Amino acid sequence: MKYAIEATGLVKRYGPVVALDGLDLSVPEGTVTGLLGPNGAGKTTAVRIFTTLLVPDAGQARVGGLDVVTEADRLREIIGLSGQYAAVDEDLTGFENLDLVGRLYHLGRRASRERARELLEQFDLVDAADRSVKGYSGGMRRRLDLAGALVARPPLLFLDEPTTGLDLRSRLAMWETIAELVAAGSTLLLTTQYLEEADRLADQVAVIDRGRVIASGSTDELKKLVGGERFELTVSRVDELATARAVLAPLAVGEIAVDEQARTITVPVTGGPAMLTDGLRRLDEVSVQVLDIGLRRPTLDDVFLTLTGHSAQDEPPQGEATTTEGHSDRAKQEKERAR
């Protein structure tokens, strides 16, 4: 198999902080690989080394067959990078931003302009093309930034947390855009804090913690490890538990867990929100009083808990239904603090 990225024993320190602690990674050509990990795990540092922005303290990395240190100049011709913060110029228009990148890839005046127009079309930014980016929404900025990475049609793409800080709707739109790119057959390395995002977009995932890869494989393998969706409900009286359990049994894809103390039932399910409606209808038919109900998806926290025994943020895992949204808010706050 040919590898687009091969890294062995990468080490990077910032003073006393070890950002990468012997990272090994191989990304086969033509695949999408998700680098999954919490804040500070070393994802961005790894991407910065692969894109020649940082020189590793130890270890080796080849990207597209080129050494990231000694062949950096040639490497820059075949990669595209879209960073964690949309690195677009606020005072320029969308068109000017893309044209600038095109000129710096040496596409030539005419080709650069044509390509900029083409990308604005592709990323649904035609109406905003001649407005300055200052007035763009977060989602539009991200799309423009992503378009910037694609200007020279690079065979190798790096997307560093492409949806961090976006609201749910913009995130879904961004996923769709990336999925289309992927379908076109580029090799892509994507970093993310969201298991769901890796699941949606990546063929294989490497889980990274404290500068090392602690697990890798397909997203299915990873999910098998942590389990799938769970339907959680709390009933008002203990004697309702048995009834509830009985009516929900047909929905379960695994063992149902009952906690009499907390009066909760946890049912492993598949099928998403539709399942929630179905479950509620069944409970209603037998007149069970439901106090609280929710669909819980496995998050990065669950993966970390399973793999390392500690949670992603080194905090106790949250008992309440943690959605990826809760996670993103926290991550966003931390990012903002870090700026």
Partner 1 sequence: MSQLVQGLGDGMVIAKRNLIKIKRVPDLLVFSTLSPIMFVLLFAYVFGSAIEIPGVSYREFLMAGIFTQTMLFGSTTTGSQLAVDIQRGIVDRFRSLPMARSAVLVGRTTSDLVNNVLVIAIMSATGLIVGWRIRSSVPEALAGFGLLLLFAYAFSWVMAVVGLAVRSPEVFNNASFIAIFPLTFIANTFVGTDNLPGPLKVFAEWNPISAVTQAARELFGNTNPSVPPPDAWPLQRPVLASLLWIAVILVVFVPMAIQRYKKAVSR
The binding site for partner 1 (CB under 8 A) comprises 48, 51-55, 73, 76-77, 79-81, 83-92, 96, 100-101, 103-106, 132, 148, 338-339
| 76 CB-near residues (< 8 Å, 6+ apart) | 51, 52
Q: Closer CB to partner 1, residue 241 or residue 331?
A: 331
Cβ(211)–Cβ(39) below 8 Å: no
Show the beta-strand stretches assigned E in the chain. Answer: 3-14, 17-28, 32-36, 58-63, 66-67, 79-82, 156-160, 187-192, 204-209, 212-218, 229-235, 257-259, 264-269, 290-296
Least distance between partner 1 and beta carbon 124 (Å): 21
Nearest to 306 by CA among 191, 218, 213, 224: 224
Least Å distance between CB 85 and partner 1? 5
Residue number, 81 or 208, with CB nearest to partner 1: 81
**CA quadruple 299, 303, 308, 309: dihedral sign:** positive
User: Closest distance between partner 1 and the C-beta of residue 184, in Å?
Assistant: 21
Closest distance of CB 169 from partner 1, Å:
24
Q: How far apart are CB 57 and partner 1 at their closest, in Å? A: 13
How does DSSP classify residue 317?
A: P
Residue 257 backbone phi and psi in degrees, to 5: -105, 135
- Taking the least distance from each CB to partner 1, the nearer of 55 and 238 is 55
Strand 290-296 with 229-235, pairing: antiparallel
The residue whose two tokens read 């949806």 is 163
Q: For partner 1, which is the closer residue by CB, 47 or 215?
A: 47
Beta bridge partners of residue 268, listed in sequence order: 230
Q: Rank residues 114 and 278 by Cβ distance to partner 1 and give the closer one.
A: 114
Q: Which is nearer to partner 1, 158 or 304 (CB)?
A: 158
Q: How far is the CB of 92 from partner 1 (least distance, A)?
A: 6
